[in-house]
A and B are shown apart, each in its own frame.
Chain A
Amino acid sequence: MTEGKRVALKYCGGCNPEFDRVEYYRRIKVVAGDSIEWVTLDDPGLEAVLLIMGCPTACPERTFAVADMNVVSIRDNTGAPEDIVKKLLKERKK
């Protein structure tokens, strides 16, 4: 059994979100299954980051910076979870 890709999840603060961010993450997590190992930004060996923003303002994008990392940022819940998982699993172009 192979280990999943180590992906950190970060939410915006959720002051006035336009969709249920936690529910949307649950859907992504179900689709990802074992292909992704969910970790935090403080954990070592990060390979990608999923940012879930509650609205188009996407506050954390203003200050968020992770060098040499595949960062997927979501601002609404219209995308299919399968597509988001694909993006997270994609290798970062060197």
Chain B
Amino acid sequence: MKIKTKEDYIKSLNDQKVLIYYNGKKVEDRTTFPAFVPHINSAAKTYELALMPEHEDLLTAKSNLTGKKISRFTHIHQSVDDLIKKVQMLRLIAHETASCFQRCVGFDAINSLYMTTYEIDEKKGTKYFPRFLEYLKRLQEENFMLVGGMTDPKGDRSKRPSQQADPDLFTRVVEKKKDGIVIRGAKAHQTGAVNSHEIMIMPTQAMGEGDEAYAVCAAIPLDAKGVTLIFGRQSNEERKFECGIDAGNCEFGMVGGEALVVFEDVFVPWERVFMCGETDFTGLLVERFATLHRQNYGGCKGGVSDIVIGASALAAQYQGTLNASHIKDKLVEMLHLAETVYSGSVACSAMGSKTKSGAYYPDPLLANCTKHNITRVIYEISRLAQDIGGGIMATLPFDKDLRSPEIGKYVEKYMKGVEGVSTETRMKILRLLENMTGGTALVESMHGAGSPQSQRVMYQRLGKLNEKMKMAKKIAKINE
């Protein structure tokens, strides 16, 4: 592996000059820019934990291509055990960061492409799979960070890609050359993009006849000519620049640091193209990527919820309410919900199956169910956390007020809870709760890995309603 340590990772980001804009200005050094540092720290945990003997069983795997020990984030699932370990790994890292560590998206992109390029070649006689394997070997060897680029801006949702008034609202091939293709368009909400090395673009939805230019998968270095990143503003974004208590989780931030990635006529050589015009495989690829990504959410959000639960209990302890029966009951409910979402991720993994390529794939119905629960359960966990924490988490004075020579004594005196716990400690835990239970963090639970409706569509397709009607008829002894 070329990138092994956090230091290797940061150096590699430094070595690659990517065009990034933040709040209207170009970012000169992405590795030291305060708004990006928490996301870098979070992603770096995936490298750091892989080097620890007590975590390597989850963070590393044996490559099916080379037999070498690799980062699990570059691994192709070879068994149900691998699928379960993925979920366990996500929960573990969430315990370390209380935030998004971003690498699962690229992880899911490579697994969905591995399965799908194999089947495209089988049907059409193309050579995408061996081409993809060469790319994958390099990814496994170098251990760079890959963005999974699926979501297009989509413009008018009632129209297909080729029917849009502006054809660039879905990422497309604008020119095919002898040595490669030219890409134009954009990918929205790209998790970890500002601190990644490459992006794997994939179609955002099933494509039909006439949409051939939009049926494209390709790996693009983020420093390629024509690529521009525009960072998405988060809730309380400016607090990251203070790097104090008010940021809530100063070291690891909140969600994945999403960005709009724009492609202005970007050339991609053929060896980096893994689908080009095969509209009949776009639906399958999207479904597989979505299933693999939805599988994750009980792992990472379950782990993040563990921190919210711990912080809620501490907030209660610091204000003397931990032993109140209603607080205990709320904490129990939060524990129940966190383990429920984790169960979903484990279940869809345990019921996984082998695809034609040999790679393993989670049960799609259960994976969709897992993510659909996240769109509700994380809101309920957050509601209970805010209930327990109290209004103070939204009305606390500034960190600088606490440190002010003039008014610090008032903050110290009137924001204090129980004896033996400093006001600063109490403020730290309340700000952490505020950071984790509102704004961008919640929206990510709703729409990350697909909005709730996209999961409900899958229920209609995979839920076997007709079979259920037949079963009911049989029990009711209905013969007509």
Contact = CB atoms under 8 A, between A and B. Distances in A.
Nearest to A63: B81
Nearest to B57: A13
A22 interface: yes
Contacts of A14: 54-55, 57-58, 92
A16 interface: yes
A60 B54 CA distance: 12
A65 to B, nearest CB: 13
Contacts of B95: 16
Contacts of B75: none
A59 B84 CA distance: 10
B57 A10 contact: yes
Interface in A1-41: 9-16, 21-22
A81 B53 CA distance: 20
B85 interface: yes
B57 A11 contact: yes
A62 interface: yes
A11 B92 contact: no
B421 to A, nearest CB: 24
Contacts, number: 43
Of A10, A15, A62, A63, most B-chain CB atoms within 10 Å: A15
Nearest to B58: A13
Contacts of B56: 11, 13
B88 interface: yes
Contacts of A12: 57
Interface residues of A, number: 15
Contacts of B92: 13-16
Contacts of B53: 9-11
Interface in B32-88: 53-59, 81, 84-85, 88
B89 interface: yes
Contacts of B84: 59
A15 B54 contact: no
Interface of A is mostly: mixed
Contacts of B88: 13, 15-16, 59
B54 A59 contact: no
A41 B227 CA distance: 45
Contacts of A21: 54
A11 B54 CA distance: 5
Interface string B92-133: 100100000000000000000000000000000000000000
B89 A15 contact: yes
Contacts of A60: 57
Nearest to A13: B58
B96 to A, nearest CB: 10
A60 B88 CA distance: 13
B85 A22 contact: no
Contacts of B91: 15-16
A16 B90 CA distance: 11
Nearest to B84: A59
A59 B85 contact: yes
A10 B56 CA distance: 9
A64 B241 CA distance: 47
Contacts of A16: 88, 91-92, 95
Interface in B177-218: none
Interface in A76-92: none
A86 to B, nearest CB: 23
A63 B57 CA distance: 11
Interface in B377-430: none
Contacts of B89: 13, 15
Nearest to A9: B53
A13 B55 contact: yes
Nearest to B59: A13
Interface string B357-391: 00000000000000000000000000000000000
A62 B59 CA distance: 17
Contacts of B57: 10-14, 59-60
A11 B465 CA distance: 45
B1 to A, nearest CB: 16
A11 B56 CA distance: 8
Nearest to B342: A16
B85 A13 contact: yes
B334 to A, nearest CB: 16
25 contacts: A9-B53, A10-B53, A10-B57, A11-B53, A11-B54, A11-B55, A11-B56, A11-B57, A12-B57, A13-B56, A13-B85, A13-B89, A13-B92, A14-B54, A14-B55, A15-B89, A15-B91, A15-B92, A16-B88, A16-B91, A16-B92, A59-B57, A59-B81, A59-B88, A62-B81
* Among all A-B residue pairs, the 6 with the closest Cβ atoms: A13-B58, A15-B88, A13-B57, A11-B54, A15-B92, A15-B91
Interface of A: 9-16, 21-22, 52, 59-60, 62-63
